[in-house]
Structures are given as structure tokens and as C-alpha cells.
Chains A and B, each alone.
Chain A
Amino acid sequence: MKNTLEITSLFTRALTEILAKVSGFTLEPVQAPPDAPISSVAGVIHLNGAGDLPGSTLIISASDGDARVLCSYMTGAAQNAFSRDDLGDALCEIANMLAGNVKLLTGASFSPSTPYAIFGEGMSVSTKRRIGIIQLHLACDALSVKLKVILGG
């Protein structure tokens, strides 16, 4: 398993590149406490299997407004053209791309699950095992996205 700093750097790079490509925005890391709540729309994917990052879970979340901005720039449609399911779908697709990108960058042998969406305010993650949780917060003037990586292994 890579150390936490390496994993943070890896996910920051991968997510920044993905968001730049799908939305055109260049997001920068901003300070985020590890226990910051998940935003109201989230895409979740599990990395199943052996190798680096085994058993990890990725949760990418954004506020309803930020998810609308993301959908709008991904598709070219107006921000009010999207249902709640569309917003979750977009974040699931970003999670899917992030899993694939990290797999490519690390050469790890995990198998990404089918992503799913969760919705709600102020959600947090609690684990019984002593495992690490990495929290990233990427933002620019127009868009803000959070990533929580619940490390497995």
C-alpha cells in the first residue's frame, strides 16, 4: 500500500484531470478537515480485489448547485434541465472514471464495482476498523467537489 501522502497526491492529480476534461474547469485543492461531511449528492464506487488500494471506497460529492454546474458543463444543457437522478448519475460517472484512471496510474489489479448514488444532507462516514480516510476538496470559482477515500487493505 502506498502511503497516505502518495495516495492523496494520486487522487488529487487524477480527479483534477478528469474534472478539467469533462467540465473545462481547473480545480485546485483547498483545505478540508478529514471529518468534513459528504455533500448532498454523491457517487460511490468500491475498488474490489488485491493490490494497491484493495477494498477502498471512493465517494465523490457535490452540493445540488455544484452538481448542476457539473452536469451543465458536461452536456451543454441548462442547469435546470437535470433531475436529482441525473446529478447522482454524473457523480457516479466521475467516480467510475476516477477508479479507472487510478487503476491505470497505479497498475493495481482491483476491479471497480458498478457505482451508485447517495443523496442527503450532512452525511458522514464511520468505520470500525482502524483504517485511513482521505478527504480532498477541489474548487474553483464555479465549481466545488469533495472526494472521500475510505482506504481498505
Chain B
Amino acid sequence: MKLLVVDDSHITRKVIKAVASSLNMAAEEAQDGEEALEMLSKIYREIDLVLLDWNMPEKSGYEVLVEMKKSDVYRHIPVMMVTALGQKENIVAAVRAGACNYLTKPFTADELASKLIECTQEANAL
């Protein structure tokens, strides 16, 4: 299982990678939406799950999600939003755009691990 962690916070990417590593998941990192799409164009075959922050410079996580789900190449890759925006309207918009899961910051390591396991099980069931 390999993740692409997209967040403009280096500290948060570090936290997510540590939790992923404890679950034997590898992770690549991107610091904004533009970089995420650039990386996906090169390594999309290796990526099993994309974790997207919402509020980022250059291109938001929501914009990346919409672009991914419009793409014949990337639309099959599951996306989980990991964001400080926890309002119902954000969650509904993300799910409608194709996100398979949603985690609101701040989160504990256990909460993130549960969500990652949930996503893995859903991906394996497909």
C-alpha cells in the first residue's frame, strides 16, 4: 500500500507518514495541489490512496480532487480529505466530488490509523 500525502504543512506530512509507516504503508509527499498532480502524472500506477488537505496555496485539495475524478487515468485512485474544515457543507462537497473518506484536523494517531485501515479495506473490496 502506497499513499500520496498532499499537505502544505511539513509537520502534518511528517505525522501522517509516521502513522502510515506504523501500518507498513509507504508514502510519497507533495506540498500543494500543483505538485500533487505533477507527481501523480509520473507515479499514479504506484499510488493506492491520496490524502488531500483542503486549504493549500496554488491549488486547493478540493480542486485536485475534482481534477482527479474528471480524469480517466486517476479517477480510480481513492481520495481521503484530511482537513481542518469540518463543516457539513465541506464534507458533502468532497463526497459529491468523489472523496471516499474524510478526516477533520486535529486528529489523533489512532483516528488516522482507523481511517487508513478503513480505506485499505474498501480498496481491497473493490
Contact = CB atoms under 8 A, between A and B. Distances in A.
A and B: real partners?
Answer: yes
Given A74-B11, A86-B11, A114-B55, A100 B104 contact: yes
Interface string A34-49: 0000000000000000
B7 to A, nearest CB: 9
Nearest to B84: A100
B106 A104 contact: no
- Point out which of B8, B56, B83, B108 has the most chain A C-beta atoms below 10 A from its C-beta: B8
Given A75-B18, A104-B86, A114-B57, A97 B10 contact: no
A100 B107 CA distance: 13
A17 to B, nearest CB: 8
A112 B11 contact: no
A151 interface: no
A144 interface: no
Contacts of A86: 10-11
Interface stretch (A55-63, A87-95, A133-141): A87-95
A108 B112 CA distance: 27
Main secondary structure of the interface of A (DSSP, over half): helix
A77 B56 CA distance: 25
Contacts of B9: 89-90, 92-93, 96
Interface of A: 17-18, 21-22, 71, 74-77, 85-86, 89-90, 92-93, 96-97, 99-101, 103-104, 107, 112, 114
Given A93-B9, A104-B87, 18 more contacts: A21-B106, A21-B107, A71-B11, A74-B11, A75-B18, A76-B18, A86-B10, A90-B9, A96-B105, A97-B84, A99-B84, A100-B86, A100-B104, A104-B86, A104-B104, A107-B87, A112-B55, A114-B55
12 contacts: A17-B106, A21-B106, A76-B18, A85-B10, A86-B11, A89-B9, A89-B10, A93-B9, A96-B9, A104-B87, A112-B55, A112-B85
